[in-house]
Amino acid sequence: MTLCLDVGNSQIFGGLFNGDKLLFRFRRITERIISSDELGLFFRNVIRENGHNPKDVESAAYCSVVPDINHSLRNSCIHYFDAEPFELKAGVKTGLKIRYKNPTEVGADRIADAISAVNRYPDTNLIIVDFGTASTVEAITAKKEYLGGAIAPGLRISMRALEEATASLPKVEILRPDKTCGRSTVESIQSGLYWGHLGMLREIIKRYRSECFPKGQNSIVIATGGFAGLFADSGLFDVIHPDLVLEGIRLAQILNHTTTKHYVSLMSMRK
């Protein structure tokens, strides 16, 4: 089994794979100051509580946009699973042609989404919307060219900005309001967050279709990330894949022929 981890600014999103089957997923708050023991014990406990044996984990892989946690994360995999983890980062094989001006600037989570999407939908123009701490919109051509994307404040960041930068606006639950015109402060904030975000995404996607792909070529719009389900009925997306980033991490690990316990033992025998 393979433990896959997406370390985001707000949460660690993880999942356990048996082959290509995702057995379960989990989330925990990202703490920038945390020990390898705290992480290792958490991972082992969450695996056990979901009905699996931590000893069956043969490999681990991750992507991270929080460098401060990477050392502890790596050591937790080594000490608690006897597996040197694969890190999806600049320089590894992705199967993509990165057209960013500086490819090293592309977030590893965005690349993971793209790897999974082109695997699911080969020879297809793709637009990926990821609802994370930031909301990102990526464009990938049918030739596996990662063209780039847009980055905007996510829903939770937007809500926090209103709360912290104003004297009287409260923190609200993020949801889809029934009406656009709110009749209370809470309803008005919820309306602005939801419908404002939806309008922004609709405009970006419309422009991508004319700017990024040849005229007459269709594209599939994929939504992923924690808030993707909130927009399921918006009509903006063709499909929702909540586990896109985890699948992409696992595929990148396979593509790079990365270390497993079995591989470690073989290398030890050759020395």
**228 DSSP 8-state letter:** G
Structure tokens at 183: 């009749």
Top CATH class of 97-248 equals alpha beta
Q: Strands 125-131, 97-98: parallel, antiparallel or unpaired by DSSP?
A: unpaired
**271 DSSP 8-state letter:** -
Q: Is 238 a catalytic residue?
A: no
Length of the chain: 271
- Give the Cα separation of 199 and 114 in Å (integer): 23
- Give the Cα separation of 136 and 47 in Å (integer): 30
Q: In this structure, which topology does domain 2-89+256-270 adopt according to CATH? A: Nucleotidyltransferase; domain 5 (3.30.420)
pLDDT along the chain (271 residues), means of 10: 95 95 95 94 97 96 95 96 94 93 92 97 97 94 96 93 90 91 94 96 95 90 94 93 96 80 36 30
- Give the Cα separation of 17 and 3 in Å (integer): 6
Residue 258: predicted pLDDT: 55
Give the pTM: 0.89
- CATH fold match for the domains 2-89+256-270 and 97-248: yes
Residue 215: predicted pLDDT: 84
Residue 247: predicted pLDDT: 97
Residue 90 near residue 107 (C-beta atoms within 8 A): no
The one-letter amino acid code at 153 reads P
Residue keyed to tokens 């389900």: 229
- Domain ranges for the chain, please list them: 2-89+256-270, 97-248
Structure tokens at 130: 């990821």
Residue 255 near residue 95 (C-beta atoms within 8 A): yes
Residue 167: predicted pLDDT: 86
54 by DSSP, 3-state: which?
helix
Residue keyed to tokens 């393979």: 2
Given the residues 20, 37, 109, 123, the one annotated as active site: 109
Residue 32: predicted pLDDT: 87
Q: How far is CA 151 from CA 96, 133, 265, in A?
A: 20, 10, 42
